[in-house]
Amino acid sequence: MPRVVWLLVIARAINKLGAFSLPFLTVLISSDFGASVTTAGLLSAAFGLATIPSRLAGGRLAGVLGRRRTIVLGLTGCAVAQLAIAAADSLLQVAFFAILLGLAFELYEPPSQAMIADAVGPADRVRAFSLLNAALAVAGTGAGLIAAAVGRWDLRWLFVVDAVTCLACALALRLVLPADHPRRHAATADGDRGAPVHPWRDRALWAMFSCGTVFALVAMQVMMGLPLTLAGRGLEPADAGLLFTASAVTVVAAQPALRLRRIAALPDTAALALGYALMTVGLAGYALAHSLPAFLIGTGLWSLGEVLVLGRVFGVVAALAPPGGSDRYLAAYGISWGIATTAAPITATQLLDRFGATVLWAGTAALCLALAAAQPLLVAPLIGRTRPAGTEPETGKDTETGKDTETGKDMETGLAARRPRAARAD
């Protein structure tokens, strides 16, 4: 992997080590300010809603201010908001700074993901994004241990420590990432310059975004619903931490499998369908599980599926973007997580309360099965467009060797480097 990929992965993992405060936001609101559970939930939902414009702003600011500046701005904004939450002395202040945190929370993601996508060739994007996913999984496990230690002292200190890691990450990336340079407008297929990028006019992106929103909802429902399910079936709710740790171990252990020839050679939609199918089996296992070993088996299966999905989706979205437009495309795709963060606390708890754990996990598995079926039937025809006749793949410089490399053609998926103008520009 190029140096910039390792820098972003390591910095993001360090930042993730401190990202343990958000699950305790509702607890802080309830315990320190006497708010009801409903009020605490609404404020958490407001945070989730604020992350949606934050993600879009991250993609736009990356093109206006530069990627490094946007990354530093987002991390610094998160630190300021979390320090303010830790120092707040009223519920109104906490609500204001929680929304402010949401508005800064996703600024980092589009430029960092775009830098990773642009730093490697299309054939290496699966490994690059899988490496990022594995690092975040390991760091997330460490974050839980830190939260358990610091949270016993004072919940407000969770936000302080999180803010410190954000500032440390911002400073490190400010020093080591390449400086921002004025970015020229990308040439369109017709050769003219200056045409704006319009991700939402791209039907292929809409297909990826729709599937990504359902996938994110599934992932967030696992986070929200698993501890409650364990409690409802007579197990210790804290054992959810063991299951999430098992998931992180599975994600890391499965990384070498992505380099196996049969898996690496799969078309993107086939790999995504396989990933969703594995998630279907694992989550269906949750519907039937009544012992910790059974839950561990289900966790391992859906985690293997998640490895395949997360390793591919960002590479596919980046390949759909026109030259210079990966920030905007990744930002548009990423708001699926904001939608899921807002919806999952409601859907998971309502399904559990009204119908029980069996229906929750059977329904969640059904969503994954529908995603698996949608890949060859609906998604593949849209993202598998052929290169227009007479066009040649673009070439660029490898960031490590300086040699010319083909960057315009995805060797694994056949995604066209140059899309019809109507699909991406006004």
Query: Is the pLDDT higher at 207 or at 406?
Result: 207
Do residues 307 and 34 lie in contact, with contact meaning Cβ atoms separated by under 8 Å? Answer: no
pLDDT tens for each residue of 134-144 = 888 777 777 66
The pLDDT assigned to 152 comes to 65
pLDDT tens for each residue of 79-104 = 999 999 989 888 889 889 989 998 99
pLDDT tens for each residue of 286-297 = 999 999 999 999
Query: Is the pLDDT higher at 226 or at 25?
Result: 226
- Cα 92 to the center of its chain, rounded Å: 30
The closest alpha carbon to 338, from 226, 247, 219, belongs to 219
The pLDDT assigned to 393 comes to 36
State mean pLDDT over 7-29.
Answer: 74
Residue 299 pLDDT > 80 = yes
* Most confident of the following: 197-206, 237-246, 377-386, 398-407: 197-206
State mean pLDDT over 331-345.
Answer: 83
Specify burial of residue 325 (Cβ count, 10 A radius: 0-12, 13-18, 19+). buried
The pLDDT assigned to 409 comes to 37
Task: Quickly count helices (H) and strands (E) in the chain.
Answer: 17, 2
The pLDDT assigned to 276 comes to 95
Contacts for 352 with CB less than 8 Å, ≥ 6 apart: 225, 228, 229, 232, 360
CA dist., res. 94 & res. 99, Å (int): 9
Query: Is the pLDDT higher at 97 or at 244?
Result: 97
- The domains found in the chain, sorted by start residue, are 1-178 (1.20.1250.20), 201-386+407-420 (1.20.1250.20)
Query: Is the pLDDT higher at 224 or at 166?
Result: 166
What's the mean per-residue pLDDT of the chain? 79
The closest alpha carbon to 130, from 254, 223, 268, 276, belongs to 254
Query: pLDDT band at residue 235, thresholds of 50, 70 and 90?
Result: confident
pLDDT tens for each residue of 305-325 = 998 998 888 888 888 888 777
CA dist., res. 100 & res. 83, Å (int): 12
The closest alpha carbon to 385, from 292, 258, 268, 299, belongs to 268
Stretch (H or E) spanning 256: none
CA dist., res. 47 & res. 333, Å (int): 19
Specify burial of residue 178 (Cβ count, 10 A radius: 0-12, 13-18, 19+). middle
The pLDDT assigned to 228 comes to 82
Residue 368 pLDDT > 90 = yes
Cross-strand partners of 406: 395
Residue 192 pLDDT > 50 = no
Residue 231 pLDDT > 50 = yes
% of the chain with per-residue pLDDT over 90: 21
